[in-house]
């Protein structure tokens, strides 16, 4: 048998990701009408993919491994809702499988795709098995046989879709999770063939104005890199230096201590930040952290040992939560779940040494668990079913106890 010598390039990967985004633009409202993946799963997936495509707009990296890693970091950090977290983990596994490769053979890409399916399966509880996992297992099996046959990547994707389609026929009713898997695969296939047209995707890649009424992926841009450094006797006022950095960041903190100024920045362009700061004076203690991966936060004189963080739908609820004892909130609802980035950024604010994260909806659970994976012991989770349980949990908080002790007491108070 003659071996398949097809090579998948970084450009091919870009087309696949943007093709998937384009397909979800067409299907996300239909997905919202289905049960099985929380409130408005199509919307959550679309915004997660919006975060994923944005790093492709101005990167100079042509390697498939480098692009896959950038997309994975943005997707994991920008993930919203249960469906978004699952898809982001698929990108994470794909990025791991393509790590270090400039181009990839069809077989290598197919194996990386199977790796992505495995990562997606890991974030969902096995019992009861959900349709998205049933379909994912079938898709992975179909892809496995195609990879073993060493066929082109188009045929691998087609085999995966066909295997999933057979599994879909066995489901009792249409399911949002299953629809998401098929939409993703179909979009990747269309993108690889160049068979998609999407003004919003063109907008994300800097190719022209977007069509009015369509979601704008620029609104989903995340800043997954935490940059910390000090400058000795910087040239210029601290407020002016902060203002200069805000062009490249969504969070900028600067604190003067004697002859040193301590900077803490969240950005998607760490190189730009360093280029900007290098002329201010001698730089010291430079640290760049990818916040979409497990990491330890350097603590800088936090205001309190432990704090509570919750989700507020609007300013009225935020005020009510504050009056009840919540120390900080992130904006979100079941219809528009907060992203992993929203929660991680709040924890990075150095308000407290540790946090108890309180969720009042099941739709927030995978997002909060993803934050726990990234931040480890810095956070503890109290995952309530509703706002009534959350209110009981808040009453049990004791500022003199650790985050772990508070989480245990608060869960008990909520009857969980």
Question: Distance (Å, rounded) from C-alpha 181 to C-alpha 162?
Answer: 12
For residue 219, name the pLDDT band (cuts at 50, 70, 90): confident
Question: Distance (Å, rounded) from C-alpha 201 to C-alpha 155?
Answer: 25
Q: What is the pLDDT of residues 93-110, one digit of tens each?
A: 999 999 999 999 888 888
Closest CA to 17 of 201, 256, 221: 201
Report the predicted TM-score, pTM, of the whole model to 2 decimal places: 0.89
Average pLDDT over residues 20-31: 90
Average pLDDT over residues 266-274: 90
Q: What is the dihedral of CA 75, 81, 84, 88, to 10 degrees?
A: 50
Closest CA to 358 of 318, 310, 402: 310
Q: What is the pLDDT of residues 191-214, one digit of tens each?
A: 888 766 555 555 555 444 455 566
For residue 410, name the pLDDT band (cuts at 50, 70, 90): very high
Please, which residues have CB within 8 angstroms of residue 170's CB and are 6 or more apart in sequence?
none
Tell me what pLDDT residue 142 has: 83
Please, which residues have CB within 8 angstroms of residue 24's CB and are 6 or more apart in sequence?
31, 42, 45, 46, 49, 183, 184, 187
Helices 10-32 + 41-53 axis angle, to 10? 160
Q: What is the pLDDT of residues 356-404, one digit of tens each?
A: 999 999 889 999 999 999 999 899 999 999 999 999 999 999 999 999 9
Tell me what pLDDT residue 207 has: 45
Q: Please give the C-alpha separations between residue 373 and each of 28, 31, 77, 287, 304, in angstroms, as whole numbers.
A: 28, 28, 12, 21, 23
Q: What is the pLDDT of residues 62-91, one digit of tens each?
A: 899 999 999 999 999 999 998 899 999 999
Q: What is the pLDDT of residues 130-178, one digit of tens each?
A: 777 777 778 878 887 888 888 888 888 888 888 888 887 777 777 888 8
Tokens of 19: 């093709």
Tell me what pLDDT residue 299 has: 65
Place of tokens 């994707």: 157
Tell me what pLDDT residue 7 has: 85
Measured in residues, the chain has a length of 416
Please, which residues have CB within 8 angstroms of residue 19's CB and are 6 or more apart in sequence?
187, 188, 189, 190, 191, 192, 195, 196
Q: Residue 115 phi/psi, 5° resolution?
A: -60, -40
The answer, yes or no, to whether residue 405 has pLDDT greater than 90, is yes
Q: What is the pLDDT of residues 300-345, one digit of tens each?
A: 677 899 999 999 999 999 999 999 999 999 999 988 899 999 999 9
Q: By the 8 A CB rule, do 228 and 299 touch?
A: no
Tokens of 161: 């879709």
Question: Distance (Å, rounded) from C-alpha 415 to C-alpha 392?
Answer: 9
Looking at the chain, the whole-number percentage of residues with pLDDT higher than 70 is: 92
Q: What is the dihedral of CA 35, 39, 45, 50, to 10 degrees?
A: 150
Tell whether the torsion through CA atoms of 108, 111, 115 and 116 is positive or negative. positive
Q: Residue 188 phi/psi, 5° resolution?
A: -60, -45
User: 113-122, 266-275, 313-322, 344-353: which range is least confident on average?
Assistant: 113-122
Tell me what pLDDT residue 205 has: 53
For residue 1, name the pLDDT band (cuts at 50, 70, 90): very low
List the domains of the chain with CATH numbers: 7-209 (1.25.40), 225-290 (3.30.70.260), 304-413 (3.40.50.510)
Tell me what pLDDT residue 291 has: 92
Question: Distance (Å, rounded) from C-alpha 45 to C-alpha 83?
Answer: 6
In this predicted model, which residue has the larger pLDDT, 86 or 35? Answer: 86
Q: By the 8 A CB rule, do 187 and 20 touch?
A: yes
For residue 218, name the pLDDT band (cuts at 50, 70, 90): confident
Angle at 87 between CA 83 and CA 88, to 5 degrees: 115
Tell me what pLDDT residue 92 has: 94
Tell me what pLDDT residue 128 has: 58
Tell me what pLDDT residue 318 has: 94
Q: By the 8 A CB rule, do 160 and 114 touch?
A: no
Q: By the 8 A CB rule, do 402 and 356 touch?
A: no
How does the average pLDDT of the chain come out, rounded?
86
């Amino acid at each position: 048998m003659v071996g398949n010598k097809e090579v998948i390039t970084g450009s091919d990967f870009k087309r696949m990701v943007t093709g998937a985004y384009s397909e979800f633009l067409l299907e996300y409202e239909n997905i919202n009408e289905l049960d099985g993946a929380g409130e408005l799963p199509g919307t959550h997936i679309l915004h997660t993919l919006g975060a994923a495509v944005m790093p492709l707009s101005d990167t100079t990296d042509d390697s498939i491994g480098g692009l896959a890693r950038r997309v994975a970091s943005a997707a994991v950090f920008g993930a919203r809702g249960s469906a978004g977290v699952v898809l982001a983990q698929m990108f994470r596994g794909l990025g791991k499988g393509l790590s270090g490769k400039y181009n990839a053979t069809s077989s290598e890409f197919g194996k990386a795709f199977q790796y992505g399916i495995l990562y997606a399966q890991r974030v969902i509880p096995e019992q009861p098995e959900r349709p998205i996992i049933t379909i994912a297992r079938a898709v992975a099996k179909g892809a496995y046989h195609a990879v073993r046959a060493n066929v082109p990547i188009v045929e691998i994707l087609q085999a995966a879709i066909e295997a999933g389609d057979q599994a879909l026929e066995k489901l009792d009713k249409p399911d949002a999770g299953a629809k998401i898997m098929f939409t993703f695969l179909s979009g990747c296939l269309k993108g690889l063939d160049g068979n998609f047209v999407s003004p919003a995707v063109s907008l994300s890649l800097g190719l022209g104005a977007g069509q009015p009424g369509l979601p704008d992926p620029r609104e989903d841009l995340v800043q997954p890199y935490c940059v910390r450094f000090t400058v000795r006797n910087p040239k210029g006022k601290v407020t002016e230096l902060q203002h200069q950095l805000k062009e490249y960041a969504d969070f900028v903190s600067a604190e003067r201590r004697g002859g040193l100024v301590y900077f803490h920045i969240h950005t998607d362009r760490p190189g730009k930040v360093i280029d900007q700061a290098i002329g201010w004076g001698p730089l010291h203690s430079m640290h760049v952290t990818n916040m979409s991966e497990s990491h330890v936060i350097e603590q800088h004189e936090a205001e309190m040992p432990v704090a509570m963080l919750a989700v507020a739908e609007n300013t009225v609820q935020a005020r009510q939560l504050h009056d009840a004892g919540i120390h900080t909130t992130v904006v979100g609802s079941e219809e528009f779940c907060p992203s992993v980035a929203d929660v991680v950024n709040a924890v990075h604010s150095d308000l407290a040494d540790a946090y108890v994260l309180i969720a009042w909806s099941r739709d927030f659970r995978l997002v909060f668990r993803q934050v726990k994976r990234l931040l480890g012991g810095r956070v503890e989770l109290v995952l309530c079913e509703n706002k009534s349980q959350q209110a009981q949990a808040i009453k049990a908080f004791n500022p003199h106890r650790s985050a772990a002790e508070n989480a245990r007491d608060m869960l008990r108070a909520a009857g969980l």
